[in-house]
Amino acid sequence: MNNTNLKEQLLADFQQFEGKLNGQAQTPFHQVRQQAIQTFNELGFPTIKHEEWKYSNVKNLVNQGFEFNAVSSFSQEDVNQLDIPNLEGNILYFINGVYNAELSVVVSPESELQILSLADAIKQQPELVAQNINKNSDIEVNAFTALNTAFAQHGIFIHVPAGKVVEQPVILRFISDARQANVASQPRNLIVIGKRAEVQVAEAFRSLGDNQCFTNAVTEFVVAEEANVHYYKIQNESDNAYHIGTTSVYQEGKSVFTANTVTANGGFVRNNLNIKIDGEYAEANMFGLYIPNGKQHIDNHTAVDHAKPNSNSNELYKGILKDKSTGVFNGKIFVREDAQKTNAFQSCKNVLVSADATMNTKPQLEIWADDVKCSHGTTTGQLNTDALFYMQARGISKEAARSLLMLAFAQDVIDKMEIPAIKAYLEELIVGKIYNS
Partner 1 sequence: MLKITNLHAKIGEKEILKGLNLEVKAGEVHAIMGPNGAGKSTLASVLAGREDYEVTDGTVEFFGKDLLELAPEERAAEGVFLAFQYPVEIPGVSTTNFLKTAVNEIRKYRGEEPMDAVNFLKMFKQKMAYVNIDQSLLNRALNEGFSGGEKKRNEIFQMAVLEPKLAILDETDSGLDIDALRIVAEGVNKLKTPENATIVVTHYQRLLDYIVPDFVHVLYKGRIVKSGTKELALELEERGYDWIKEELGETV
Task: Return residues touching partner 1 (CB under 8 A).
Answer: 384, 386-387, 389-398, 400-401, 404-405, 407-409, 411-412
Which residue lies nearer to partner 1 by CB, 82 or 396? 396
Question: How far apart (Å, rounded) are the C-alpha atoms in residues 358 and 292?
Answer: 10
Sign of CA dihedral 251, 97, 200, 413: negative
295/398 with CB nearer partner 1: 398
Q: In 3-state terms, what secondary structure has residue 24? A: helix
Name the minimum Å distance from CB 437 to partner 1: 20
Separation between Cα atoms, residue 423 and residue 87, nearest integer Å: 10
In which order are the strands placed within the sheet that holds 256-265? 98-105, 90-95, 170-177, 198-208, 228-236, 256-265, 283-290, 312-321, 343-352, 373-381
CB of 298 to partner 1, least distance (A): 21
The DSSP code sequence of 151-164 is TBTBSEEEEE-TT-
Question: Min. distance of Cβ 386 from partner 1 in angstroms?
Answer: 5
Shortest Cβ 243–partner 1 spacing (Å): 28
Distance CA 70, CA 208 (A): 13
Give backbone dihedrals phi and psi of 20, rounded to 5 degrees, phi first: -90, -5
CB of 266 to partner 1, least distance (A): 25
Contact 154, 183 (CB under 8 A): no
Report the distance separating Cα 328 and Cα 55, nearest Å.
7
Closest to partner 1 by CB, 373 vs 398, is 398
Per DSSP, the three-state class of 166 is coil
33-39 contact pairs (CB < 8 A, 24+):
33/149, 33/150, 33/151, 33/152, 34/150, 36/139, 36/146, 36/147, 36/149, 36/150, 36/152, 37/11, 37/146, 37/147, 37/150, 39/139, 39/140, 39/143, 39/146
Measured from the CB atom, is 397 or 437 closer to partner 1?
A: 397
d(CA 11, CA 5): 10
Nearer to partner 1, 183 or 405 (CB): 405
State which residue, 367 or 407, has the beta carbon closest to partner 1: 407
Nearest approach in angstroms of CB 384 to partner 1 is 8
Question: Which parts of 133-243 fold into alpha helices (H)?
Answer: 143-150
Q: For the CB of residue 202, give the shortest distance to partner 1 in the complex, in Å.
A: 25
Shorter beta-carbon distance to partner 1: residue 159 or 402:
402
377/393 Cα distance (integer angstroms): 33
- Residue closer to partner 1, measured from CB, 164 or 433: 433
Work out how close the CB of 414 gets to partner 1 at its nearest, in angstroms, rounded to a whole number. Answer: 10
Q: Residue 255 in contact with residue 279, Cβ under 8 Å? A: yes
Which residue's CB is nearer to partner 1, number 86 or number 411?
Answer: 411
Contacts of 213 (CB under 8 A, 6+ apart): 66, 176, 178, 182, 183, 184, 185, 207, 237, 238, 240, 241, 242
Q: How far is the CB of 396 from partner 1 (least distance, A)?
A: 5
Q: Judged by CB, which is closer to partner 1: 374, or 396?
A: 396
Give least dist CB 315 to partner 1, A.
19
